[in-house]
Chain A
Amino acid sequence: MNKELKRVSTVVLVMFLALFVSSTVIQVAQGDQLRADPRNVRTLYDSYSTERGPIVVGGSTIAESKPVKDQYKFQRVYSHGKLYAPVTGYFTLNQQNPGIEGALGQYLSGTANDQFLNNLTSIVTGQKPKGASVELTIDPKVQLAAYNALGSQRGAVVAINPKTGAILAMVSKPSYDPNALAVHNGTDFFKSYNALNASKSQPLVNRAIAGDLYHPGSVFKLIVASAAIDSGKFTANSTFPNPATLKLPQSNSYIANSTEGTCGPSAKASIATALRLSCNIPFAQLGRAVGESTIADYATRFGFGQKLSIPLPVTPSIYPRGMDEPTLMLSSFGQASDQVTPLQMAMVSSAIANGGTLMKPNLVQKVLAPDLSPLQQLTPEVFSNPISSGTASTMTRLMIDDVANGAASNATIGGVDVAGKTGTAENGPGAPYTLWFTGFAPANDPQVAVAVVVENGGGFGQSSFGNAVAAPIAKKVLEAVLNK
Chain B
Amino acid sequence: MPQNSSALTAGAPIEAGPRPTFTTSIRIRLRVPARLRNVEFGLLLIACIIATGSIALVQLGATGTIDPSVLTYSAVLDLLVLVMHFTLRVVAAQADPLILPIITVLNGLGIAEICRIDLAKHVSGWDSAGVRQIVWTGMAIIIAIATIIWIRNHRVLQRYSYISMFVGIVLLLLPMLPLIGRTINGARLWVGIGSFTFQPGELGKIALAVFFAGYLVSARDSLSMVGRRVLGMTFPRARDLGPILVVFAASMIVLIFQRDLGTSLLYFGLFLVMLYVATGRASWIILGVTMFIGGALVANQLLTYVHGRVESWLDAFNPKIYDTSGGSYQLVQGLFGLAHGGLIGTGLGLGRPDLVPLAESDYIIPSLGEELGLVGIFAILALYLLFISRGFRIGFAGQDDFGRLLGVGLSFVIALQVFIVIGGVTRVIPLTGLTTPFLAAGGSSLVANWIIAALLLRLSDTVRNQPRAVIEG
Interface residues of A (CB under 8 A from B): 1-5, 7-9, 11-13, 15-16, 18-20, 22-24, 26-28, 30-31, 34-35, 37, 39-43, 45-46, 123
Contact = CB atoms under 8 A, between A and B. Distances in A.
A368 B338 CA distance: 31
Query: Across chains A and B, which 9 residue pairs bring their CB atoms closest together, nearest first?
Result: A2-B473, A34-B339, A22-B426, A27-B374, A40-B336, A15-B419, A31-B339, A4-B277, A42-B340
B357 to A, nearest CB: 14
B336 A39 contact: yes
Interface of B: 273, 276-278, 280, 317, 322, 332, 335-344, 347, 352, 355, 369, 373-374, 377-378, 381, 384-385, 388-389, 392, 395-396, 401, 404, 408, 412, 415-416, 418-419, 422-423, 426-428, 472-473
Interface of B, helix, strand, loop or mixed by DSSP = helix
Given A5-B396, A16-B381, 9 more contacts: A2-B473, A4-B276, A4-B280, A9-B392, A13-B385, A15-B419, A24-B374, A26-B339, A27-B377
A43 B381 CA distance: 27
B338 A27 contact: yes
Contacts of B317: 37
15 contacts: A1-B278, A8-B276, A9-B392, A16-B385, A22-B423, A22-B427, A23-B378, A26-B339, A26-B427, A27-B374, A30-B339, A34-B339, A37-B332, A37-B336, A39-B332
B436 to A, nearest CB: 12
Nearest to A11: B273
Nearest to B354: A71
Nearest to B405: A1
Contacts of B385: 12-13, 16
B277, B336, B339, B423: residue with the most chain A Cβ atoms closer than 10 Å: B339
A18 B472 CA distance: 31
A27 B280 CA distance: 39
A11 B269 CA distance: 12
A18, A19, A20: residue with the most chain B Cβ atoms closer than 10 Å: A19
A26 B426 contact: yes
Contacts of A30: 339
Contact of B277 (A5, A43, A45): A5
Given A16-B385, A19-B419, A20-B381, A31 B342 contact: yes
Given A5-B392, A41-B355, A28 B374 contact: yes
Contacts of B415: 12, 15-16
Contacts of B369: 23, 27
Contacts of A5: 277, 392, 395-396, 408
Contacts of B389: 9
Nearest to B323: A39
B341 A27 contact: yes
Contacts of B418: 16, 19
B334 to A, nearest CB: 9
A27 to B, nearest CB: 4
Contacts of A13: 385
Contact of B344 (A12, A18, A37, A123): A123
Contacts of B335: 26, 34
Nearest to A15: B419
Nearest to A36: B339
Contacts of A27: 338-339, 341-343, 369, 373-374, 377
Contacts of B423: 15, 18-19, 22
Given A4-B276, A42-B355, A28 B342 contact: yes
A279 B392 CA distance: 98
A18 B428 contact: yes
A42 B346 CA distance: 12
Contacts, number: 120
Contacts of A19: 381, 418-419, 422-423, 426, 428
A46 B473 CA distance: 57
A35 B280 contact: no
Given A12-B388, A27-B377, A45 B352 contact: yes
Given A39-B336, A41-B355, A1 B381 contact: no
Nearest to B329: A39
A417 to B, nearest CB: 60
B472 A2 contact: yes
A26, A27, A35, A40: residue with the most chain B Cβ atoms closer than 10 Å: A27
A8 B342 CA distance: 32
A190 B56 CA distance: 40
Contacts of A4: 276-277, 280
Nearest to B351: A42
B426 to A, nearest CB: 4
A123 B347 CA distance: 9
Contact of A2 (B337, B339, B396): B396
Nearest to B345: A27
Contacts of A3: 280, 473
Contacts of A45: 352
A41 B342 CA distance: 16
A37 B392 CA distance: 42
A316 B13 CA distance: 94
A43 B344 CA distance: 17
B368 to A, nearest CB: 11
Contacts of A43: 340
A1 B377 contact: no
A20 B378 contact: yes
Contacts of B344: 123
Given A1-B401, A4-B276, A12-B412, A23 B472 contact: no
A8 B408 contact: yes
A1 B339 contact: no
A1 B277 CA distance: 6
Contacts of A9: 389, 392
Given A20-B381, A30-B339, A1 B392 contact: no
A8 B416 CA distance: 11
Contact of B473 (A1, A23, A34, A41): A1
A416 B128 CA distance: 76
A16 B373 contact: no
B378 A26 contact: no
B178 to A, nearest CB: 38
A16 B426 contact: no
A19 B425 CA distance: 10
B277 A22 contact: no
A4 B419 CA distance: 20
A374 to B, nearest CB: 27
Contacts of A37: 317, 332, 336
B322 A23 contact: no
B292 to A, nearest CB: 15
A364 to B, nearest CB: 29
A160 B124 CA distance: 59
A28 B343 contact: yes
A23 B388 contact: no
A15 to B, nearest CB: 4
Contacts of B392: 5, 8-9, 12
Given A19-B419, A19-B426, A26 B352 contact: no
A26 B428 CA distance: 11
A120 to B, nearest CB: 9
Contacts of B419: 15-16, 18-19
